[in-house]
Amino acid sequence: MGGKDARAQSFPRLVKNLNDILGLALQARATSIHLFEGEAPSARVNGKLHPLPFAPVSRQQATLWLQALAGRDAWSEAERIGTSQIGFSGPDGVLFRGRFLSGERGLGIVLLPILPPPPIDERSLPPALRHLADLRGLVLLAGGIATGKTTLLGSLVAWLSSSQSWHILVLEDAPARFSYRPEQSWISHWEIPRHFPDMTSALVSALALEGELVAIDSLREAVEIEAALDLAESGKLVLATHEAEGGAAGAITSLMRTLAQGGKRSEAGRLEATLRTAVSQTLLPRRDGQGVAVLYEILPGHPAVAAAIRAEASASLGEFVQVGREGGKRVDEAILELWEAGMVSAEDAFRHARDKERVLAHLDGAKEGDRSLHGDRIDQPASPSE
């Protein structure tokens, strides 16, 4: 049998193998699937990459998968450029979108299943989010990489769309992360650069629409922040993600710094006038393996916060942060409460702490006081010289 015939016969098996991988990832509620030449397939679940029980991906597998998904002509062009976007319908009709890369590591594919966002339990939300429908202005959802801010945005949009009649506009970079089922609301979904060349032009166009709610994923540049403030000033509810470390206070500091670096320092006045709340969440894996424990950190847009923004006193913003349903706590205090209740491990408590030395001293003190560490061991990060 010739090489070409053998390759043709192996193709259906390879496609079935891809569907098996994707099907297992969907069962695990994965948010992304990673297929790289020479490595076992992996899936991101609850913010962490986990290997899947399949053999490492061969170059033949990756090449045939990509030819099938992109088409031979598009694959040839993409192979020359080194990257391209792909989209297809996978197991059970689930839409997948993603990107493949060709470089020194060989071929790689990252796929995102486009599913409805996870349902949100209104009872678990802090008051600032439970009453979101009553707000108009800017609500910032912030956090670092893989902290769930995009998922929170999607879940809030789906929840609000089912609670009352809205005209909702969702703006995000392609590929889309979630699909939305219009219930009581009319939802328009714009992807960048599929529908607009950049986020700024999409935001400017959104200003002319009659929509009451604009969801943005995400704000990066000063001109984008400026356009979002225009929307907030127009009487719309604007939900926007922003990548920043340091929790809710750190997110506002990051916005102010970005505006200043973009030559738009004067926009801080509009930020303090339109900000309704900034939200950051910390996701800690539960010890029982049942998902994650969520800590919401809220910076309310009350007059004292507005005054700190106006005075560019970003260092004082942390004084107004509220953690927990009723507020009154610091993030590290809430994390230690979860550890003391046995819900999270000492390792994860230490890893997510802001003041690591203080938290480590508390954990060590509990051990010396003959209180259970729940069988955990804490490995501190190595110093840079090690």
- The DSSP bridge partners found for residue 188 are 169
Section 291-311 average pLDDT? 89
User: What is the DSSP code string of 235-273?
Assistant: T-EEEEEEE-SSHHHHHHHHHHHHHHHTT-GGGHHHHHH
- Low-confidence winner among 13-27, 127-141, 186-200 (lowest mean pLDDT): 13-27
**Same domain for 348 and 235?**
no
Indicate if 166 and 266 belong to the same structural domain.
yes
Residue linked to tokens 């702490």: 353
- Specify whether the CB–CB gap between 305 and 319 falls below 8 A: no
Nearest alpha carbon to residue 152 among 175, 123, 177: 177
- The pLDDT confidence band at residue 367, using thresholds 50, 70 and 90, is low
To 10 degrees, what angle do helices 59-70 and 72-81 make? 120
Q: What is the pLDDT of residue 12?
A: 52
Mean pLDDT of 249-256: 93
pLDDT value at 249 more than 70: yes
Taking each helix axis from N to C end, the angle separating 247-261 and 303-310, rounded to the nearest 10 degrees, works out to 30
**Final residue belonging to a domain, choices 114, 130, 153:** 114
Domain that holds residue 375: 330-386
Give the amino acid at 375. G
**The pLDDT of residue 268:** 87
CATH number at residue 85: 3.30.450.90
- What residues are paired with 143 via a beta bridge? 243
The CATH number assigned to the domain holding 190 equals: 3.40.50.300
Question: Per-residue pLDDT for 180 more than 90?
Answer: no
Q: Pick the last residue of a domain from 328, 352, 371.
A: 328
* Residue 376, Cβ density class (10 Å: 0-12 exposed, 13-18 middle, ≥19 buried): middle
134 vs 93, more confident: 134
Q: Are residues 344 and 294 in the same domain?
A: no
Quote the number of domains for the chain.
3
Question: What is the pLDDT, as a whole number, of residue 16?
Answer: 66
Residue 145 shares a structural domain with residue 235 = yes
- Report pLDDT digits (tens) over 326-335: 556 788 888 9
**Are 336 and 203 members of one domain?**
no
Say which amino acid occupies 228. Answer: A
* Location of structure tokens 């205090």: 333
pLDDT digits (tens, 9 = 90+) for 302-316: 899 999 998 888 888
Q: Are residues 15 and 79 in the same domain?
A: yes
212 and 195, same domain (yes or no) = yes
- Is residue 267 domain-shared with residue 384, that is, in the same domain? no
74: number of Cβ within 10 Å: 15
- Summarize the confidence of residues 180-204 as an average pLDDT: 89
The vertex-97 CA angle with 94 and 101, nearest 5°, equals: 140
